[in-house]
Amino acid sequence: MISTADCKQAIVAWLQARPGHVQQQFTDPIDEAPSLVVGNWKRIVKEFATWGPPAKWMRTFDCRPYDDQLRAYVWDDGQQIVGVEVLGE
């Protein structure tokens, strides 16, 4: 079973593999450092996956201090994480 902590780790790993991705989501310069702190990600929704990669669950996370502006989506099939996406809202 995939935990919220697993998802947060996957988000940070995804971002670490894509330097500059957070900055590309915004028109004004921002500090990307908060997005690389596992504890700054807060799960706001867990629901059956209706879009994204083939998966059973989709979890939505907000990143402090960018609540409602920077979101991460994590998909899993119940056994492993199958996708991560981070988008500016």
What total of structural domains would you count in the chain?
1
> How big is the CA angle at 66 (ends 46 and 68), to the nearest 5 degrees?
50
Domain extent for 11: 4-88
How far is the C-alpha of 28 from the C-alpha of 40, rounded, in Å? Answer: 21
Give me the helices (H) in the chain, please: 4-16, 21-24
Q: pLDDT tens digits for 13-41?
A: 999 999 999 999 998 888 999 999 999 99
pTM tops 0.75, yes or no: yes
Q: pLDDT tens digits for 31-71?
A: 999 999 999 999 999 999 998 899 999 999 999 999 889 99
